[in-house]
Structure 1
């Protein structure tokens, strides 16, 4: 015959089991990761990074990595997609490789944001003979395969440890072939959108469809969406507001003034300088810390107007050509604004193995011949990285400094 003591012990055991079951579910909410500022890096490598790569990034103080896989060797033409011209399900071999890399990221103590460069009917230009692929934005029916791809991927990765968000497409540009000039005035952007609303170029509507599909299989995973015109910081201007999904983060990129910060500046004699004059939006402007802050204020002001907290805003990429005389000053000016605003950020890029221009651990010198030889032979990048003034600007912020 059970005593009252036995009964109480059994109830206590049941209560402890219930707590043990419920507590991990609460703690595992992936959106909580984004409740405080997160700082990381972009990984756009040609080979799937090894464990040492992610361990090194974590040792620098990063807590997330924005991961693109489109340069990796694919089972068919396009990694994961099989073929962006006719999507017919996720390529199983590619998915296995992605899961292996995600496992390395999780083992390093990082979180991953998956950021494809290509979608069905939207092949990344560098995998498309240098041609911009506008098909997905020409007709809404071309969205269907992209929606199906994301539903399939969300289903395949549900429960995979270490994923912090899905960044639905890197740097979309439905405006590019749609008649809207880059960096147009906000009023012109809104007028353009009024004429495109409901069409294939309606970026917020496209995102809404993809998000609904993902939510059918995963109601919890955070979703990250880039602004239009290659994620320009001023391109939220025509968005009527948030997308209606509470687990969405809004991302912009920062390379302005692009004529100064990009590789095209290397071909100028003499190159443009920062601070200094540079063309932007069709006109010459003087860019310095104040102008950088004013430009980056635009997406932040959009967020405040629509009640979006800074914890849901992300600077998904930023950088400058490392050989720019004042690259470290530019990086410092950008990071100062982002840190003060309390938004999440990821610098471009960490130890990229096929483009050295924004690999700040290389300093300002030329990379050795071995770097290019490894590319030619499809081998791992052999160049050792080191502390440099350019990277120190980033490293200090990664480690909580100012």
Structure 2
């Protein structure tokens, strides 16, 4: 099986064009959406996203059913032995459909070898990757194999090397700690297995062995927190890098658990954040997202190399529309790239803004229970989707 997988990678790479992606796509602001679906999206799905004015899609295949094991593409994240041939074929078909619809794709894994995504790991955070430098090696082989198999595919605009890494998890460093505390923590782990920059250097080197030009997107630590570049002493040494953060803060208000509170947190309002009570409003959103921009500017990184790779809020939260407008206003003012979470997710409706802010009708759930292939009642004219659609359409002009 491993030989078959290796031969497949070589054959696919040889059949592909020599070059597909370069950094110039990212020279001007690009606006798009996230695709985290359980079923491989088809061309109609990508055409619908493209019709909004979106130019790119941040796509993960990790939720798709693998033809060769527990984990899509990897077969088994516990013991990576090479790409699953049939899974690569499926992925290339999806990339073909995205490209045919006029979208560029940023491919992002939720898991790596020895770092299985929590939601596919029984709800347990997998920290094996961060336990030793030797444990980085299977992830390096995975990205070398994947870059070989996909080299030259014309739909690809970047590889986002891992979604929301958290090497800080389980250590003394709290989420949203002050910059000085982050820098002190980093001084103690620098050069070791929890050094995210060390992981990225290894992955980048293995991609560059086979693809010198593909842009590579790097999430900040602590689940891509906007304040988690604060401990990076410098960017990495590669001309084709993008730096990405995600925006769900204040998470206590934007997330699902808030919807079950007797009195949900509102926005603008004072809510828990970083171990304190913090007032969140448009100014606070702007100030929080300014942190990675200041880090970038201090190191000579342009705004066109910065990305808000995910942002969103629970659609039934009364203040979701106002929150989306405030985040989008910052992204547009900063002229960074962005992708909203999420476009027509098929396994969860919490951030499917085309559904509006009401519960799905009982008739829909009855049809699902009966096994019928039924689509929820989406509308691009839903008021909650309006702030996103307006920005997408404006960007397309």
TM-score range (shorter-chain normalised) is: over 0.9
Determine the structure 1 residue equivalent to 2:346: 353
Query: In structure 2, do the counterparts of structure 1 residues 178 and 372 end up closer, same or farther at CA, with 3 Å as the change threshold?
Result: farther
Choose from 298, 306, 311 the match for 2:291. Answer: 298
| Contact 1:374/1:382 (8 A) holds in 2 | no
Q: Does 1:155 align with 2:144?
A: no
- Alpha-carbon displacement from aligned partner over 1:127-179 (angstroms, at most 9, x marks no partner): 00000000001111100000000000000000112100000000000001122
Alignment of 1:8-87 (within 5 A): 30-75=22-67, 76-87=69-80
Task: Give the whole-Å Cα distance in 1 for the aligned partners of 2:151 and 2:351.
Answer: 33
**Cα pair distance change 1:71/1:290, threshold 3 Å:** same
Q: Deviations over 1:48-98 (max 9, x none)?
A: 111111000000100000001111111210000100000000001111110
Q: Distance in 2 between matches of 1:169 and 1:379?
A: 34
Number of aligned pairs?
378
Cα gap change, 1:43/1:305 in structure 2, threshold over 3 Å: closer, same or farther? same
What do you get for the CA RMSD once the two structures are aligned? 1.7
The alignment partner of 1:355 has SS state of coil
Provide the residue aligned with 1:396 in structure 2.
390
Over 3 Å counting, the alpha-carbon distance change for 1:170 and 1:378 in structure 2 is farther
Counterpart residue number, 1:119: 112
| Alpha-carbon distance in 2 for matches of 1:365, 1:140 | 48
Sort the Cα spacing of 1:373 and 1:36 in 2 relative to 1 into closer, same or farther, 3 A.
farther
How far apart are the structure 1 equivalents of 2:214 and 2:206?
12
Asked whether the 8 Å contact 1:353–1:381 carries over to 2, the reply is no
Say yes or no: does 1:285 pair with 2:278: yes
Q: Which position in structure 1 is the counterpart of 2:133?
A: 140
For residues 26 and 373 of structure 2, the distance between their equivalents in structure 1, rounded to whole angstroms, comes to 33
Gapped regions of structure 2 (runs ≥ 5): 1-16
Residue 334 of structure 1 aligns with which residue?
Answer: 327
Per the alignment, residue 179 of structure 2 pairs with 186
Contact 1:223/1:247 (<8 A) preserved: yes
SS at match of 1:320: coil
**Pairwise CA distance, 1:324:** 1.2
So what's the TM-score if we normalise by structure 2? Answer: 0.92
CA spacing shift, 1:374–1:187, aligned 2, 3 Å: farther
In structure 2, the residue matched to 1:382 is 375
TM-score by length of 1: 0.91
Given that 1:138 and 1:200 are in contact with CA atoms closer than 8 Å, whether structure 2 keeps it comes out as yes
Answer 1 or 2: higher relative contact order, Cα 8 Å, separation at least 6: 2
5 Å matches for 1:117-266?
117-266=110-259
C-alpha displacement at 1:369, in angstroms?
A: 4.4
Q: Secondary structure of the equivalent of 2:304?
A: helix
Deviation at 1:270, TM superposition (A): 1.5
In the alignment, the residues of structure 2 paired with residue 153 and residue 66 of structure 1 have an alpha-carbon distance, to the nearest angstrom, of 17
Output the CA distance in 1 between the equivalents of 2:192 and 2:373. 44
**Does structure 2 retain, via aligned residues, the 8 Å contact 1:354–1:375?**
no
Q: Deviations over 1:279-299 (max 9, x none)?
A: 000001110000000000000
Secondary structure of 1:172's counterpart equals coil
In the TM superposition, what is the alpha-carbon distance from 1:30 to its structure 2 partner? Answer: 2.1
Matches of 2:203 and 2:250, distance apart in 1: 32
Residues 271 and 281 (structure 1), Cα distance of their counterparts in 2 relative to 1, 3 Å cut: same
CA-CA distance at 1:381 after TM superposition? 5.2
- 1:106 equivalent in alignment to 2:123: no
